[in-house]
Amino acid sequence: MFTKARLKDYNFKLLFNVLLLLGIGSIFVYSADHSYLVREITGIVLGLIVMIFLSFVEYDFICKFSRVIYIGTIIVMLSVLVLGQNVNGATRWISIGGAGGVQFQPSEFSKIAMILFAATHLDKHKSRGTINTAPCLTYFIVTVGIYLLTIFLEPDLSTTVCVTLILLTMLYVSGLSYKIIGLTLLIMVPVVGSFLWYIQQPFQHLLKEYQVGRILQFIYPEKYAEDFSQQSNSIMAIGSGQLTGKGLSTSTIATVKDANFISEQQTDFIFSVIGEEVGFIGSVIIIAIILVLVLQCIRIGRQAKDTKGMLIATGMGCWIGYQSFINIAVASGIGPNTGMPLPFISYGQSSLLSLSIGIGILLNVSIHRTRY
C-alpha cells in the first residue's frame, strides 16, 4: 500500500512549483479580499498534508478501487441535485452542519475520481490491444456520459466542457485510432452548428437563460456586452495594469478591484487582480509557471512505469492546463464568461483540496518512474 521511496526519488521540483503557485495565490487572494486569507491558508495546510500523505500511497492500490470511486462519485453527484444548495441558479454545493458548517463542491473532487477511473479502464484495454473496439469505447462513453450528465444538470457547463476535454485527451493518448477521431470530427461539426442554432430559439430547454446569454455574448459581443459587465470590467482591469501593474494590494478607488466593479474577484476572476496589480510582465511570469507545471506532468507521464501512470499524469496535466486556459480566457475576454477557478491560485477550498489529491497521486507516479 505504501511506497518506500529514497529521498532522491522524490520529485521536489514538482512540489516546489506547486508551493510557488500556492504562495502566489495567497498573495492575490489577500489582495482581492483580506477576509479570505485565513481560510485560504487553512486550505493550503490541509491540502499539503493530504498531498504528502498520498504521495507515499501506491497509485496502483488506489486504482484498484476505481469502480467503487466511480459509483461513489455518481451517488454524491446525484445527491447534489437533491440536497445541494442553490446559489445563483445553480445547485453545485453541499453544506454539512448548517450555515456555520462545512461547504464543499463535489464536482471538483469528481475530476480526480474520473481521471483515476478512465486511467484504469484504458490501461486494461491498452494492455489487451482492445482500445479501438466497440465494447471498450461503448463502456467508456456510457460511464463518462452518465457522469457528465450529473454535472450538466447542476447546471455546470464549464466543468462539463473541461472534464470532457480531459477525458477525451486521455482517450487519444491511450491509442485511439485516427479513423475514429476523423469520423467523430465529421459528426461533431454539424452537431455543434445545430446546437448553436437551437439554443437561440425561443423554445429551447437545453440550457439555462444565463448560459445562453454568456455564449451569445461571446459570439455577438456588440449586441450583448451591456448585459454582462463582469467580463468587460475584468478586461478593463487587466488592461489598466499595462506593462508592470499598479502594485500589490493597491487600495485606491482608481482600481477596478477597490471600486467593486467585479464581484467575488478572489475566485473566478482572480486573473483580473493579477493583471491589474502586476501587469503584463507579472501575468506572463505566472502563466509561465503554470506552463512549467503542465510540462512537468507531461514529463512524469513519459517516464511512468506503465500506461496507467502515464494516463494519470496526462489527466493531471490536462486538468491544470485546460482549466487555467479557460479561466484566463474568460478573464481576458477571449472565451465566453463561465465560472472556473484558476488552479492553485483562485480562492476555493474544494478546488485546492481536489488538486492537492491529484498532485499527491502524481508524485507517487513520479516516484515509480522508470527513466531518469
- What sections of the chain are H helices per DSSP? 12-32, 37-54, 59-63, 66-83, 106-128, 134-152, 157-173, 178-198, 209-219, 221-224, 229-240, 270-303, 307-332, 349-367
Encoded amino acid at 237, one letter: A
pLDDT of residue 204: 80
pLDDT of residue 256: 61
Is it the case that residue 119 has pLDDT exceeding 70? yes
pLDDT digits (tens, 9 = 90+) for 306-316: 999 999 999 99
- Over residues 99-121, the mean pLDDT reads 85
Higher per-residue confidence, 252 vs 94: 94
pLDDT of residue 224: 60
| In a domain? residue 372 | no
DSSP state of 342: P
Question: What's the pLDDT band for 87 if we cut at 50, 70, 90?
Answer: low
| In a domain? residue 302 | yes
Is it the case that residue 129 has pLDDT exceeding 70? yes
pLDDT digits (tens, 9 = 90+) for 292-302: 999 999 999 99
Is it the case that residue 82 has pLDDT exceeding 70? yes
Is it the case that residue 228 has pLDDT exceeding 60? no
pLDDT of residue 236: 84
Encoded amino acid at 315, one letter: G
Query: Which element (helix H / strand E) includes 96?
Result: strand 90-96
- d(C-alpha 88, C-alpha 156), whole Å: 12
Is it the case that residue 371 has pLDDT exceeding 60? no
How many whole angstroms from its chain centre is CA 28?
Answer: 19
Question: What's the pLDDT band for 372 if we cut at 50, 70, 90?
Answer: very low
Name the residue with cell 445563483.
Answer: 88
Q: Which of 287, 362, 358, 295 is nearest to 327 (CA)?
A: 287
Q: Of the ranges 89-103, 124-138, 240-254, which is most confident?
A: 124-138
| In a domain? residue 1 | no
Is it the case that residue 97 has pLDDT exceeding 80? no
pTM beyond 0.95, yes or no = no
| In a domain? residue 329 | yes
| In a domain? residue 2 | no
pLDDT digits (tens, 9 = 90+) for 183-207: 988 988 888 888 888 878 887 877 7
Q: Which of 12, 31, 47 is nearest to 358 (CA)?
A: 47
| In a domain? residue 135 | yes
Boundaries of domain holding 315: 7-367
| In a domain? residue 287 | yes
Give the count of domains, the chain: 1
- Kindly state the percentage of the chain with pLDDT values over 90: 52
Burial (CB < 10 A; 0-12, 13-18, 19+), residue 35, is exposed
Q: Which residues contact 275 (CB under 8 A, 6 or more apart)?
A: 237, 238, 239, 241, 245, 283, 331, 332
pLDDT digits (tens, 9 = 90+) for 51-80: 999 999 999 999 999 999 999 999 988 888
- Over residues 83-104, the mean pLDDT reads 66
| In a domain? residue 24 | yes
| Beta-bridge partner residues of 86 | 91
